Amino acid sequence: MFSSVKSKIKKISAAGSLLKTLALPLFLSLVIPLLSFNEKYKGNAFRIKTIVVDAGHGGHDGTTRGLIAREKDVALQVALRLGKSIEENLPDVRVVYTRTEDIFVPLYERIGVANRVKADLFISIHCNSMPSSMKNRSSVRGTETFVSGFNRLGQQDAALRENASLLLENDYKDNYDGFDPNDPESVIVFSFMKNQFRDQSIKLASLMQTEYVATGRIDRGVKEQGLAVLAKAGMPAVLTEIGFISSPQEEEYMVSDYGQNEIVTCLLKAIQTYKKQVEIQ
Ligand SMILES: [Zn+2]
C-alpha 162 to ligand 1 mean position (Å): 5
pLDDT at position 193 over 70: no
How many percent of the chain have pLDDT more than 70? 72
What local confidence, expressed as pLDDT, does residue 162 receive? Answer: 81
C-alpha 14 to ligand 1 mean position (Å): 78
Q: How far apart are CA 243 and CA 255, in angstroms?
A: 11
Q: How far apart are CA 270 and CA 24, in angstroms?
A: 49
Check residues 15 and 229 and name the one with the higher pLDDT: 229
Per-residue pLDDT reduced to its tens digit, 21-41: 556 555 555 544 444 444 444
- The residues placing their C-beta within 5 Å of ligand 1, an ion, are 56, 126, 162
C-alpha 62 to ligand 1 mean position (Å): 9
C-alpha 159 to ligand 1 mean position (Å): 9
Q: How far apart are CA 52 and CA 110, in angstroms?
A: 9
What local confidence, expressed as pLDDT, does residue 232 receive? Answer: 82
Q: Is 108 exposed, middle or buried (0-12, 13-18, 19+ CB in 10 A)?
A: buried
Q: How far apart are CA 87 and CA 97, in angstroms?
A: 12
What local confidence, expressed as pLDDT, does residue 12 receive? Answer: 47
pLDDT at position 18 over 70: no
**Mean confidence (pLDDT) of the chain:** 83
Amino acid symbol at 195: N
pLDDT at position 250 over 70: yes
How many percent of the chain have pLDDT more than 90? 56
CB 260 within 8 A of CB 77: yes
Q: Is 211 exposed, middle or buried (0-12, 13-18, 19+ CB in 10 A)?
A: buried
C-alpha 267 to ligand 1 mean position (Å): 17
- What is the per-residue DSSP string for 52-94? EEEE--BTTB---B-SS-BHHHHHHHHHHHHHHHHHHH-TTSE
CB 23 within 8 A of CB 15: no
Per-residue pLDDT reduced to its tens digit, 108-166: 899 999 999 999 999 999 999 998 888 899 999 999 999 987 665 555 577 777 887 87
Task: Report the range out of 9-13, 89-93, 186-190, 198-202 with the highest average pLDDT.
Answer: 89-93
Indicate the SS3 state at residue 196.
coil
What local confidence, expressed as pLDDT, does residue 195 receive? Answer: 66
C-alpha 211 to ligand 1 mean position (Å): 21
pLDDT at position 20 over 80: no
CB 121 within 8 A of CB 48: yes
What local confidence, expressed as pLDDT, does residue 37 receive? Answer: 43
DSSP H helical segments within the chain, as ranges? 2-43, 71-89, 107-116, 158-163, 172-175, 184-191, 198-214, 228-231, 248-255, 257-278
CB 229 within 8 A of CB 236: no
25 phi and psi angles, rounded to 5 deg: -60, -40
CB 75 within 8 A of CB 125: yes
Q: Which residues are CB-contacts of 100 (< 8 A; sequence separation ≥ 6)?
A: 76, 80
Kindly state the greatest CA–CA separation across the chain. 104
C-alpha 273 to ligand 1 mean position (Å): 26
What local confidence, expressed as pLDDT, does residue 226 receive? Answer: 78
In this prediction, residue 52 has a pLDDT band, given cuts at 50, 70 and 90, of very high
Per-residue pLDDT reduced to its tens digit, 56-113: 999 998 778 999 999 999 999 999 999 999 999 999 999 999 999 999 999 989 999 9
What local confidence, expressed as pLDDT, does residue 67 receive? Answer: 93
C-alpha 63 to ligand 1 mean position (Å): 7
C-alpha 49 to ligand 1 mean position (Å): 26
C-alpha 99 to ligand 1 mean position (Å): 14
pLDDT at position 196 over 80: no
Q: What's the pTM? A: 0.79
C-alpha 12 to ligand 1 mean position (Å): 78
